[in-house]
Structure 1
Amino acid sequence: MRNLLNEARDKAAEIIQDHRDTHKLIAEALLKYETLDSVQIKSLYETGKMPANSETEEDVHPLSFDEIKEKMNTTP
């Protein structure tokens, strides 16, 4: 049993080490954008870059309560 656990730990450490650069990219993107969707994560993982159509910091702004209410009333 101990041998099985050691092998699993070693394999997990190897996977983490092999993808260290990708994890760092994702962590940096999370610090910048706070949230990432699956398309953005997949793009970072596969290309090392955010997708071209990603929202920039300027595009993202929190909505006020009144803005949310207005959107709810105008959306069919």
Structure 2
Amino acid sequence: MISDEQLNTYRLSGEKVRVVRDALETNDVIGIVVAWDEEHVLIRRQNRRVVKLNRSYDIQPFSTPRRNPFE
């Protein structure tokens, strides 16, 4: 699970993140961190829709190449 400090860093910088939910890249959620609590994180996508995701998913900076956590 990602730490509160790392989520706060992403939120303050406005950096795009990639949430890897499974092995398929097409299922990734890309956007900016808006808010979080103990179990969930809110990501605002480019189309301005907000997605509520579990914090146990792998959250990576979008600027780096995608790492598959399932390999």
TM interval, shorter chain, is under 0.3
Higher strand share: 2
Rg comparison, structure with higher value: 1
Higher helix share: 1
- Larger RCO, structures 1/2 (Cα 8 Å, 6+ apart): 2
> TM-score, normalization: structure 1?
0.23
